[in-house]
Amino acid sequence: GESVGLHLPTLSVQEGDNSIINCAYSNSASDYFIWYKQESGKGPQFIIDIRSNMDKRQGQRVTVLLNKTVKHLSLQIAATQPGDSAVYFCAETYNFNKFYFGSGTKLNVKP
Amino acid sequence: DADVTQTPRNRITKTGKRIMLECSQTKGHDRMYWYRQDPGLGLRLIYYSFDVKDINKGEISDGYSVSRQAQAKFSLSLESAIPNQTALYFCATSNSQAPNEKLFFGSGTQLSVL
């Protein structure tokens, strides 16, 4: 039979605004986290990572925040551009054994 | 990532057929993975291999098998395809010697089972 997938959470922002994408992870022992960006028709691409001994890490226009108390990860994108439109996934791993992915958030950037 | 190549990019097949999806990498990474992506869902791990002689089941291995023919090649087989295996399949690699190990993905294979 035909499988029916879930609708992705969608975040719509105006070009130039800041975006915040959230992720709740499942394993309190996870010690490394990654944000991936997936554009239509492409595989996921690495954006930024953070280890569990850090609370914040900044890249170019992107910041990842980690709150281990509530097992929450967020990705902040500054001055969002049309090229940022994509699906964003968080991934977690413990001791680089296996990576587990969240279901993703779709970011729509309106011009 | 062009260093991780998946073939074919698209495949349509019928129920009961045997299908092989291939993945090759030029990154020199020791670890390789097969993931499945369904609409609105995250990536789910099918099988993974940490070395040529190492094969491990992931979350959803039933109905699939793999072969690690060489460090650079990791193929996924569906012995008897069924419609609910219609999905987007990704191969990924990682380097266990890297300080912070990351997954690098191929462009995916869209498989449709009729």
Sequence-separated (6 or more) residues with CB below 8 Å from residue B29 = B93, B94, B95, B104
Backbone φ and ψ for B57, nearest 5 degrees, come out as -80, 145
Tens-digit pLDDT profile for residues B39-96: 877 899 999 999 998 999 999 999 999 999 999 999 999 999 999 999 999 999 999 8
pLDDT tens profile A32-84:
999 999 998 889 999 999 999 999 999 999 999 999 999 999 999 999 999 99
**Residues in chain B closer than 8 A to A91 (CB atoms):** 103
State the nearest Cα–Cα gap between B18 and chain A, in angstroms. 19
Does A88 reach chain B within 8 Å, measured CB to CB?
A: no
CA distance B2 to A89: 20
Q: Could you give the CA distance from residue A74 to residue A19 in angstroms, rounded to a whole number? A: 10
Of A30, A21, A24, nearest to A92 by C-alpha is A30
Among candidates A1, A32, A43 on the partner chain, residue whose Cβ is nearest the Cβ of B90: A43
Question: What are the backbone dihedrals phi and psi of residue A19, each rounded to the nearest 5 degrees, phi first?
Answer: -115, 145
Nearest CA in chain A to B87: A3
Question: Structure tokens of B5?
Answer: 């190549």
Interface test with chain A among B101, B109, B110, B112, by most A beta carbons within 10 Å: B101
Rounded Cα distance between A66 and B76, Å, is 35
pLDDT one-digit tens code per residue, A85-97: 999 999 999 887 7
